């Protein structure tokens, strides 16, 4: 197993601003420009460091803006808007290939992204991008992942399917896998690079609703969308794999708490045990729902529809998935978060919902179970060990697992907060693994807004406060 390190990089930026009546407007503009410059230079630095090698890309780097600027509660919203606008402008200025302008999907408008050579050789990812219905307001955004036939034919078929689904008005991004053979996997690191660029660009798009992002796919795209559902669950409103079936070590179901999850597979689709693994996924979701029926705020925690379709093999009806997904809307501020932090192609996430990992406690997987009630944050953090309990005899695929947990030690965590999660005017208590590690009022700072924006790229996750703890 690759050792995962996280490097905290502090970029000193001291802001000493005196807000006198005559200069407030000018200094606010100066602050906007300072934050925008910081974002732009950090994006450049981050890319330069990450693209040296695959190992460098897998070595997560936490950039931290250091500023003494504290805020009053009444200044949170104006500063949040300033930070987001600075982020948008920095991304517009960042030298990279941008998404093409959306046109009607029926025109088949397309372009391509070159993915880093250090992550995958000769990786060019063509894509279709367009809208269905009328382009107006904040729209749902669908990512469709095709199956593993001829990539050109599969890609064109994806456009045909996308136009036929009853989910408009909506926007569609339909990529083509860059390479066939061993690289025909939607979850590998070069594709992770593409997804995170896509998040960064789409979340700044005026026509895309950040709380209505969906990923779905068929066959190989079903495998990919199941993995991506778990790995990037904090971005999705819902996910919809079809005709797939991953061993659940590759896609822990707990991560899909708080999102919609639809999974349709033919009951007789026995190749690579797709029907059996879909059944195991259903069992795991049902068990998770029974163990966690509601979140800390009383809302249902799991929303899933997993069906083995009688009489069908690999080919099924694909039309029912996206209308179901479209009914789901992301809650960006869940008060219960379940997260198994796992490697995908040797790389782990550095954050999930309002959590940011500054130092992993070990090289094992880490499982976080967080609940927030009345300004009390309780976190159970455990190392996770897997033991295979079922393997197939032909390929040795690990089909089923038993997990064991032990209290994690030696980690460092940042918990971001806003007024949707706690009362910022009252003291906050944090209990980790049954030990109270914090009890105090949190400070509202520009630093937290900038750092959380850079971590998540998300207009809904620009947090004005945080608590950093070792455990």
Distance, in Å, from the CA atom of 92 to the CA atom of 89, rounded to the nearest integer, reads: 5
Q: What is the pTM of this model?
A: 0.94
Is residue 364 located within the same domain as residue 449? yes
pLDDT tens digits for 206-223?
999 999 999 999 999 999
CA distances to 46, 83, 136, 218, 332 from 464, in Å: 23, 11, 31, 40, 15
pLDDT tens digits for 163-210?
999 999 999 999 999 999 999 999 999 999 999 999 999 999 999 999
Q: At residue 13, does pLDDT exceed 80?
A: no
Give the 3-state secondary structure of 343-357.
CECCECCCEECCEEE
Which of the listed residues 294, 326, 358 is the one where a domain comes to its end? 326
Is residue 146 located within the same domain as residue 111? yes
Q: At residue 21, does pLDDT exceed 70?
A: no
3-class DSSP state of 366: strand
Decide the pairing of beta strands 355-359 and 238-242: unpaired
Q: At residue 30, does pLDDT exceed 70?
A: yes
Which of the listed residues 93, 128, 155 is the one where a domain comes to its end? 93
Q: At residue 390, does pLDDT exceed 60?
A: yes
Is residue 74 located within the same domain as residue 14? yes
- In this structure, is residue 424 part of a structural domain? yes
| pLDDT mean across residues, the chain | 94
- In this structure, is residue 111 part of a structural domain? yes
- In this structure, is residue 357 part of a structural domain? yes
Q: Which two tokens stand for residue 297?
A: 């705020």
- In this structure, is residue 98 part of a structural domain? no
Q: Which two tokens stand for residue 97?
A: 């290939």
Q: At residue 10, does pLDDT exceed 70?
A: no
Q: At residue 14, does pLDDT exceed 60?
A: no
Q: At residue 25, does pLDDT exceed 90?
A: no
| Arithmetic mean of pLDDT, 145-150 | 97
Q: Residue 26 — very low, low, confident or very high, per pLDDT cuts 50/70/90?
A: low
Check residue 28 and give its pLDDT: 77
Check residue 60 and give its pLDDT: 80
Percent of the chain with pLDDT over 70: 94
- In this structure, is residue 454 part of a structural domain? yes
Distance, in Å, from the CA atom of 133 to the CA atom of 140, rounded to the nearest integer, reads: 12
Is residue 302 located within the same domain as residue 408? no
- In this structure, is residue 209 part of a structural domain? yes
pLDDT tens digits for 234-276?
999 999 999 999 999 999 999 999 999 999 999 999 999 999 9
Check residue 405 and give its pLDDT: 98
Q: Tokens 């899933």, residue? A: 304
Give the 3-state secondary structure of the chain.
CCCCCEEEEEEECCCCCCCCCCCHHHHHHHHHHHHHHHHHHHHHHHHHHHCCCHHHHHCEEEEEEECCCECCHHHHHHHHHHHHHHHHHHHHHCCCCCCCCCEEHHHCCEEEEECCCCCCCCCEEEEEEEEECCCCCCEEEEEEECCCCCHHHHHHHHHHHHHHCCCCCEEEEEECCCCCHHHCCCCCHHHHHHHHHHHHHHCCCCCEEEEEEEEEEECHHHHHHHHHHHHCCCCCCEEEEECCCCCHHHCCHHHHCCCEEEEEEECCCCHHHHHHHHHHHHHHHHHHHHHCCECCCCCECCEEEEEEECCCCCCCCCCCHHHHHHCCCCCCCCCEEEEEECCECCECCCEECCEEEEECCCCCEEEEEEEEECCEEEEEEEEEEEEEEEECCCCCCEEEEEEEEEECCCCEEEEEECCCCCCCCCCEEEEECCEEEEEECCCCEHHHHHHHHHHHCCHHHCCCEEEEEEC
- Residues recorded for the chain: 471
Check residue 66 and give its pLDDT: 78
Percent of the chain with pLDDT over 90: 90
Is residue 368 located within the same domain as residue 322? no
Count of CB atoms situated within 10 Å of the CB of 351:
21
Please count the CA atoms within 13 angstroms of the CA of 198 that sit on its side-chain side.
Answer: 25
Q: Which two tokens stand for residue 66?
A: 């250091």
Distance, in Å, from the CA atom of 341 to the CA atom of 408, rounded to the nearest integer, reads: 13
Is residue 235 located within the same domain as residue 380? no
Q: Which two tokens stand for residue 320?
A: 């029912």
Q: How far is CA 288 from the centre of its chain?
A: 20
Is residue 361 located within the same domain as residue 453? yes
Check residue 27 and give its pLDDT: 65
Q: Please give the tally of structural domains in the chain.
A: 3
| Arithmetic mean of pLDDT, 139-151 | 98
Across 33-54, b (16+ Cβ under 10 Å) vs e yields: ebbbebbbebbeeebeebeeeb
Is residue 363 located within the same domain as residue 463? yes
Q: To the nearest 10°, the Cα dihedral for 314, 320, 322, 324?
A: -130
pLDDT tens digits for 43-86?
999 999 999 999 999 998 888 887 768 999 999 999 999 999 99
Which of the listed residues 48, 69, 93 is the one where a domain comes to its end? 93
Is residue 365 located within the same domain as residue 432? yes
Check residue 219 and give its pLDDT: 98
Q: Which two tokens stand for residue 57?
A: 């890309």
| Arithmetic mean of pLDDT, 374-379 | 97
- In this structure, is residue 331 part of a structural domain? no
CA distances to 231, 324, 336 from 262, in Å: 16, 8, 21
Could you tell me the residue range of the domain that residue 17 belongs to? Answer: 6-93
pLDDT tens digits for 403-456?
999 999 999 999 999 999 999 999 999 999 999 999 999 999 999 999 999 999
| Arithmetic mean of pLDDT, 363-372 | 98
Taking each continuous run of H as one helix and of E as one strand, the counts in the chain are 9, 21
Is residue 148 located within the same domain as residue 265? yes
- In this structure, is residue 1 part of a structural domain? no
Is residue 408 located within the same domain as residue 452? yes
Is residue 65 located within the same domain as residue 112? no
Domain CATH code at residue 196: 3.40.50.1820
């Amino acid at each position: 197993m690759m050792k995962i390190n996280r490097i905290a990089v502090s970029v000193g930026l001291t802001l000493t601003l005196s807000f006198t009546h005559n200069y407030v407007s000018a200094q606010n503009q100066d602050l906007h420009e300072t934050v925008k410059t910081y974002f732009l230079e950090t994006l450049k630095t981050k890319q330069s460091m990450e693209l040296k090698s695959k190992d460098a890309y897998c070595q997560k780097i936490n950039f931290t803006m250091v500023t003494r600027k504290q805020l009053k509660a009444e200044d949170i919203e104006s500063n949040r808007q300033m930070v987001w606008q600075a982020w948008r402008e920095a991304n517009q200025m960042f030298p990279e290939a941008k998404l093409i302008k959306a046109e009607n999907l029926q025109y088949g408008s397309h372009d391509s992204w070159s993915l880093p050579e250090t992550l995958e050789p000769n990786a060019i990812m063509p894509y279709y991008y367009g809208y269905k219905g009328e382009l107006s307001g904040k729209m749902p955004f669908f990512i469709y992942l095709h199956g593993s036939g001829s990539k050109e034919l599969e890609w064109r078929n994806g456009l045909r399917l996308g136009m036929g689904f009853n989910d408009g008005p909506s926007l569609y991004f339909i990529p083509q896998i860059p390479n066939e053979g061993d690289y025909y996997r939607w979850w590998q690191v070069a594709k992770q690079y593409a997804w995170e660029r896509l998040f960064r660009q789409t979340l700044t798009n005026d026509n895309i609703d950040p709380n209505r992002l969906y990923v779905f796919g068929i066959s190989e795209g079903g495998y990919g969308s199941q993995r991506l559902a778990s790995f990037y669950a904090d971005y999705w409103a819902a996910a919809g794999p079809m005709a797939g079936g991953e061993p659940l070590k590759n896609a822990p179901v707990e991560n899909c708490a708080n999102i919609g999850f639809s999974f349709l597979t033919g009951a007789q689709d026995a190749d690579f045990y797709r029907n059996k693994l879909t059944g195991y996924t259903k069992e795991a979701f049902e068990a998770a729902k029974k163990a966690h029926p509601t979140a800390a705020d009383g809302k249902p925690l799991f929303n899933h529809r997993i069906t083995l379709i009688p009489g069908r093999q690999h080919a099924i009806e694909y039309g029912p998935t996206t209308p179901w997904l479209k009914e789901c809307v992301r809650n960006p501020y869940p008060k219960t978060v379940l997260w198994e932090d796992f490697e995908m192609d040797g790389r782990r996430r550095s954050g999930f919902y309002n959590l940011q990992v500054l130092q992993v406690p070990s090289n094992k997987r880490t499982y976080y179970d967080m609940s927030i009630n009345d300004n009390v944050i309780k976190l159970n953090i455990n190392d996770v060990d897997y033991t295979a309990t079922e393997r197939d005899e032909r390929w040795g695929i690990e089909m089923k697992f038993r997990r064991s947990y032990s209290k994690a030690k030696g980690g460092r965590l940042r918990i971001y907060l806003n007024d949707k999660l706690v009362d910022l005017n009252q003291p906050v208590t944090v209990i980790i693994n049954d030990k109270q590690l914090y009890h105090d009022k949190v400070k509202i700072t520009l630093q937290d807004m900038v750092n959380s924006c850079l971590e998540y790229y998300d207009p809904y996750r620009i947090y004005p406060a945080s608590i950093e703890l070792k455990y």
